[in-house]
Amino acid sequence: MGMEWKGPGFFGLKISASFGRDALAGLSLASMNIPQVLGYARIAGMPPVTGLYTVLLPLLAFAALGASRHLVVAADSATAAIFSGALSEMAPMGSAAYISMVSAVALLNAGFLLVARLCRLGFLADFLSRTVLVGFLAGVGVQVGLGMLYDMLGLVSARHTPALQVLELVRGLPQANGAAVLISGVACLGLLLGQKYCARKPVALVVVGLGIVLGWSGWPTAHGVGVLGPVRGGLPVLHVPVIPWENMLALLPVSASCVFVIIAQSAATSRAFADMFHENVDENRDILGLSAANAVAGLSGTFTVNGSPTQTAMAVRAGAMTQRAQVVFAGVTVCVLLALTGPLAWLPHCVLASVVFCVAVGMVDVQALNSIRRESPGEFWLALVTAVTVVGVGVEQGIFIAIALSLFRHVRHSYRPHTMVLRSDAATGTMEVEPVQAGAQTEPGLIIYRFSSDLFYANCQLFSQDITLLIDTAPVPVRCLVVDCSAITDIDYSAARVVRDVLERLRARHVQVFFGRVLPYALADMERHHIVEAVGQQNIFEQLHVALAAARALIAA
């Protein structure tokens, strides 16, 4: 655990230097993130105090059961946007029915995550590519930022669709409150400059503190700017939310969306910081910690929690090396809940909205989008489509589009894999590759063909078409075809039928087929699907050069 210097401690207890470092990091993390979790409560449509609840019991639950030393599990804008967008159509935000459904979603998340842990489904995180995750978070940032503009301008919106919100915002600009615009502009300027030049300082806390002082002066309310009003303090009371059965069924797809984002985003974050410190990752144990964190969130009357990339980055920058920093963070939250919620009543809505707006702006990772565009324009368009879907249709639909696009991109590459013909270079004597094309041949009477993917129902016709083209257009009649199987590890039923059909047609044309570099997995499939029987066991080899030698010997005979 790093240095083991023992200081004087408290009440005779010795405290290591590493614990002291984590404690200071926890204090710094609390000062920077408490204003943000109040903002996340605003995105979630929940009372402000519930934002503080997300960094109390959930933090402790993950610290006790999770594996990651660095992941901060707390309120998150992406999951808050998912459930608030869906539940706001079922009940008014902030109402008792809405709050119960929000807590019920957290409990459902806990149940789904527990099932995922028992089934060891941590690998599901791999199905959300980095490309579409960047696009998804950018779309969420735009949607959240758009919603916050209303409070920043002193306007009220009853719309939930982003397109309608934009139209209503444009029409309402003449009625914008000048005082709210001024306060929001100054707050955003301070937050953005602080983020750029004082990243390790609690700038958001300073902005919120100045906002409270301004609200206490009475100037904002005198100019028509609303404030939070009384914020309930005290520790949360554990209870099970009760909602009608039909509502519970409607919450299942909402929870499923949240769970996939939780698994994907938490795994991506924990992996990134584990790599930074050369540590191992246990996604399945982290899922157990996330399940426990969401369970206590639902029971304590707050909303879904998730592994937060921004808060984790803040913790690491502050010097946190273990989950002890998050325990200290939770301790600071207890102090705020017991003694410091009173001043929050004077916080202007537009200041809190500005904090959230700046968080949302940070979710649009322009640098990452530009990097994707330069390196892979096709993937950039996938990210852009995901972002537009989130903004135009909704966050819940956006996450499923993100999953579908990630899988589509993978299937597209497998559907049209690289195929090539190997030729011997006269100068070096090594094998060179060239794309499959009419007239391509390895040497007179011989073709070595490589198929760079598993064979399955969607791409097996390409295998058949390539071989037919090569045989039909060969400048010298082909006597032997050697198939390089180095990339083939799986053959499904449909592909096996196509392969057997190709073998039958080639046998009718007196072309002998050999398989080289056949891996044990591919050989097992060949035996099961009777390909070995069709080609002959003697024509299947583990090494390509042995298969090539057998083919050349047959041609020379």
The token pair that represents 424 in the structure block: 């011997």
* Bridge partners for 483 per DSSP: 449, 515
Of 517, 554, 511, whose CA–CA distance to 431 is shortest?
517
Residue 7 covered by a domain: no
Do residues 346 and 469 share a domain? no
Do residues 406 and 424 share a domain? no
Domain boundary among 369, 386, 411: 411
pLDDT reported for residue 145: 83
Q: Which residue has the tokens 């100045």?
A: 210
pLDDT band at 450 (very low <50, low <70, confident <90, very high): very high
What lies within 8 Å, CB to CB, of 201 at 6+ separation is 194
pLDDT in tens, 315-331: 777 778 889 999 999 99
Do residues 346 and 462 share a domain? no
Distance CA 452, CA 384 (A): 29
Structurally, how many domains does the chain consist of?
2
Do residues 500 and 352 share a domain? no
C-alpha distances out from residue 314 to 54, 76, 78, 143, 286, Å: 17, 14, 18, 24, 20
C-alpha distances out from residue 111 to 108, 117, 259, 298, Å: 5, 10, 10, 11
Do residues 385 and 443 share a domain? no
Are residues 79 and 258 in contact, defined by beta-carbon separation less than 8 angstroms? yes
Q: Which residues constitute the domain of residue 466?
A: 416-556
Do residues 403 and 421 share a domain? no
Are residues 104 and 251 in contact, defined by beta-carbon separation less than 8 angstroms? yes
Residue 157 covered by a domain: yes
pLDDT band at 208 (very low <50, low <70, confident <90, very high): confident
The token pair that represents 245 in the structure block: 């059965």
Domain boundary among 389, 411, 433: 411
Q: Is the pTM of this model over 0.85?
A: no
Report the CATH number that the domain containing residue 463 is assigned in CATH.
3.30.750.24
Residue 249 covered by a domain: yes
Task: Find the mean pLDDT for residues 474-494.
Answer: 95
Q: DSSP 3-state assignment of 168?
A: helix
pLDDT band at 12 (very low <50, low <70, confident <90, very high): very low
Do residues 295 and 320 share a domain? yes
Residue 139 host element (H or E): helix 130-153
pLDDT reported for residue 56: 95
Residue 135 covered by a domain: yes
Do residues 406 and 441 share a domain? no
Distance CA 139, CA 394 (A): 9
Amino acid identity of residue 406, one-letter, is S
pLDDT reported for residue 501: 97
Distance CA 38, CA 185 (A): 19
Do residues 328 and 359 share a domain? yes
Residue 5 covered by a domain: no
Of 114, 39, 130, whose CA–CA distance to 356 is shortest?
39
Quote the percentage of the chain above a pLDDT of 70.
92
pLDDT in tens, 517-539: 999 999 999 999 999 999 999 99
Residue 100 covered by a domain: yes
Of 323, 326, 335, whose CA–CA distance to 235 is shortest?
335
Residue 1 covered by a domain: no
Are residues 39 and 26 in contact, defined by beta-carbon separation less than 8 angstroms? no
Distance CA 71, CA 256 (A): 22
Long-range contacts of 111-118 (CB under 8 A, 24+ apart): 111/291, 112/255, 112/256, 112/259, 113/259, 113/262, 113/263, 113/287, 113/288, 113/290, 113/291, 113/294, 114/288, 114/291, 116/259, 116/263, 116/287, 116/291, 117/284, 117/285, 117/287, 117/288, 117/291
Domain boundary among 381, 411, 441: 411
pLDDT in tens, 87-134: 988 999 989 999 999 999 999 999 999 999 998 887 766 666 778 778
Do residues 84 and 123 share a domain? yes
The token pair that represents 129 in the structure block: 């590519």
The token pair that represents 450 in the structure block: 């490589």
C-alpha distances out from residue 70 to 23, 67, 273, 306, Å: 14, 9, 7, 13
Amino acid identity of residue 469, one-letter, is L
pLDDT reported for residue 452: 93
Residue 66 covered by a domain: yes
pLDDT in tens, 385-438: 888 887 887 666 676 777 777 777 777 777 888 999 998 776 666 788 999 999
Are residues 551 and 446 in contact, defined by beta-carbon separation less than 8 angstroms? yes
Do residues 236 and 280 share a domain? yes
Q: DSSP 3-state assignment of 128?
A: coil
pLDDT reported for residue 395: 64
* Ramachandran class of 301: left when φ > 0, alpha when ψ lies in -120 to 50, beta otherwise: left
User: What length is written for the chain?
Assistant: 557
Q: Which residue has the tokens 């985003």?
A: 265
Do residues 137 and 283 share a domain? yes
